[in-house]
Amino acid sequence: MEKYALIITEKPEAARRIAQALDKEGKPEEVKEKEVPYFHVLRDKRLVVVPALGHLYTVIHERGKRNYYPVFSFKWVPRYLAERGSKNIRAWIEVISELAVGAEEFINACDYDLEGSLIGYSILKYACKGKENIAKRMKFSTLMKSELEKAYDELLPHLDFGLIEAGKTRHEVDWLYGVNLSRALTLAAKRWSGRYATLSTGRVQGPTLKFLVEREKAIQCFVPTPYWSIKAEAEIKGSIYEAGYEREKIERKAEADAVLRACEGKTAEIKKIEMKKFRQMPPFPFDVGSLQAEAYRLFGYTPRGTLNIAERLYLEALISYPRTSSQKLPPVINYKAILTALSKDRNYKDLALGLLKKTELKPLEGKKTDPAHPAVYPTGNLPERALSEPERKIFDLVVRRFMAVFGDPAVKQSMRVSIQVNGHLFYLRGRQVLEAGWLRFYEPYAKTEEVLLPPIKEGETIRLKRVIREDKFTNPPPRYNPSSLVKKMEERGIGTKATRADIVETLYSRGYIAEKRIFVTSLGFDVAETLGKYCPTVVSVELTRDLEEKMEQIQNNEAKRVNVLVEAVDRLKPTLERFKTRETVIGEALSAAIKRARMEERIIGQCPDCGTGQLMILYSRKTGKRFIGCTNYFKGKCKTSFPLPQRGTVKPARRSCRACEWPLLDVRMKGRRPWALCFNPNCPLKEKKS
Partner 1 sequence: MEKYEVWKKALDISWKDYLREVAKNAYAGSLVKEVAEQLMKSEGE
The site for partner 1 (CB under 8 A) is made up of 219-227, 251-254, 473-476
Q: Is the dihedral of CA 587, 590, 594, 599 positive or negative?
A: positive
The distance of closest approach from Cβ of residue 264 to partner 1 in the complex, given in angstroms and rounded to an integer, is 21
Helix axes 349-356, 389-404, angle to 10 degrees: 20
Cα-based distances in Å from 505 to 56, 483, 502: 22, 11, 5
Give the residue from 58, 14, 56, 63 showing the smallest Cα distance to 39.
Answer: 14
d(CA 361, CA 151): 25
Helix axes 482-492, 500-509, angle to 10 degrees: 130
Give the residue from 398, 328, 416, 404 showing the smallest Cα distance to 366.
Answer: 328
Residue 461 or 475 with smaller CB distance to partner 1: 475
* Segments in 535-640 forming alpha helices (H): 541-555, 561-581, 583-602
How buried is residue 425: exposed, middle or buried, by Cβ count under 10 Å (0-12/13-18/19+)? middle
The DSSP string of 555-578 is: HTTSS-HHHHHHHHHHHHHHHHHH
The distance of closest approach from Cβ of residue 471 to partner 1 in the complex, given in angstroms and rounded to an integer, is 10
The distance of closest approach from Cβ of residue 515 to partner 1 in the complex, given in angstroms and rounded to an integer, is 15
The distance of closest approach from Cβ of residue 466 to partner 1 in the complex, given in angstroms and rounded to an integer, is 24
Residue 66 or 252 with smaller CB distance to partner 1: 252
Residue 473 or 634 with smaller CB distance to partner 1: 473
The distance of closest approach from Cβ of residue 254 to partner 1 in the complex, given in angstroms and rounded to an integer, is 7
d(CA 661, CA 604): 13
Residue 475 or 690 with smaller CB distance to partner 1: 475
Residue 224 or 371 with smaller CB distance to partner 1: 224
Residue 471 or 577 with smaller CB distance to partner 1: 471
Other C-beta atoms lying within 10 Å of the C-beta of residue 434 = 11
The DSSP string of 252-305 is: -HHHHHHHHHHHTT-EEEEEEEEEEEEEEPPPPPB-HHHHHHHHHHHH---HHH
Alpha-carbon radius of gyration of the chain: 31
Is residue 134 within 8 Å of 106, Cβ to Cβ? Answer: yes
Residue 243 or 250 with smaller CB distance to partner 1: 250
The distance of closest approach from Cβ of residue 667 to partner 1 in the complex, given in angstroms and rounded to an integer, is 29
Cis peptide before 70 (omega within 30 of 0): yes
Residues paired with 464 in a beta bridge: 234
Q: Is the dihedral of CA 361, 366, 372, 373 positive or negative?
A: negative
Residue 148 or 250 with smaller CB distance to partner 1: 250
Residue 288 or 523 with smaller CB distance to partner 1: 523
From the candidates 296, 321, 377, 512, give the one annotated as an active-site residue. 321
The distance of closest approach from Cβ of residue 427 to partner 1 in the complex, given in angstroms and rounded to an integer, is 24
The distance of closest approach from Cβ of residue 255 to partner 1 in the complex, given in angstroms and rounded to an integer, is 9
Task: Please tell me the total number of residues recorded for the chain in this structure.
Answer: 690
d(CA 244, CA 250): 12
The distance of closest approach from Cβ of residue 221 to partner 1 in the complex, given in angstroms and rounded to an integer, is 5
d(CA 74, CA 71): 8
Q: Is 121 a catalytic residue?
A: no
- Kindly list the catalytic residues: 321
